[in-house]
Amino acid sequence: MMKQSFRSAIAIAFAALLLGSVPSPAQKDKNAPQTRTVVGMVANKGDQPLEKALVYLKNDKTLMVQTFITGPDGKFRFNSLSQNTDYDVFAEYQGKRSNTRTLSAFDTRAEAYMPLTIDVQR
């Protein structure tokens, strides 16, 4: 009887050791980037880049807003963003606004491309 209890204890300990060494799907890859980036271009409906458009990035957890003013190529970039936070991105140009796009915490891309379009003439 004692041998059987001892064997059971050894088997349970061995199983626990094996299970503890297998990474769960919820664990992050240590080589994966710890932050992410949002890039994009602000353009009119004719796909012409809009210089001096004001791009807003809102952190949905803290409600903090970052801004970026586009150059002649209409491009914008926000670096070092948390992977565990949703972000809203939109742009304004000459009093008009683009649609709001959301970068979800479930989106695992290290660099998310989010083009924004504003209905203005150039």
- The tens digit of pLDDT for each residue in 21-68 reads 444 444 555 665 689 999 999 999 999 999 999 999 999 999 999 999
- The yes-or-no verdict on residue 85 having pLDDT over 90 is yes
Percentages helix, strand, coil for the chain (3-state, rounded to 5) are: 15, 40, 45
pLDDT of residue 118: 97
- pLDDT range class, residue 121, cuts 50, 70, 90: confident
Average pLDDT of the chain, as a whole number: 85
Comparing 29-38, 48-57, 84-93, 108-117, the range with the smallest average pLDDT is 29-38
User: By the 8 A CB rule, do 114 and 39 touch?
Assistant: yes
Q: Does residue 106 surpass a pLDDT of 90?
A: yes
Task: Please tell me the distance from the alpha carbon of residue 19 to that of residue 3, in angstroms, as a whole number.
Answer: 24
Taking Cα atoms as reference points, which of 13, 26, 101, 12 lies closest to residue 56? Answer: 101
Asked if the model's pLDDT at residue 17 lies above 60, the reply is no
Query: pTM (2 decimals)?
Result: 0.73
Structural domains in the chain plus CATH codes:
35-117 (2.60.40.1120)
Tell me: pLDDT of 13 over 60: no
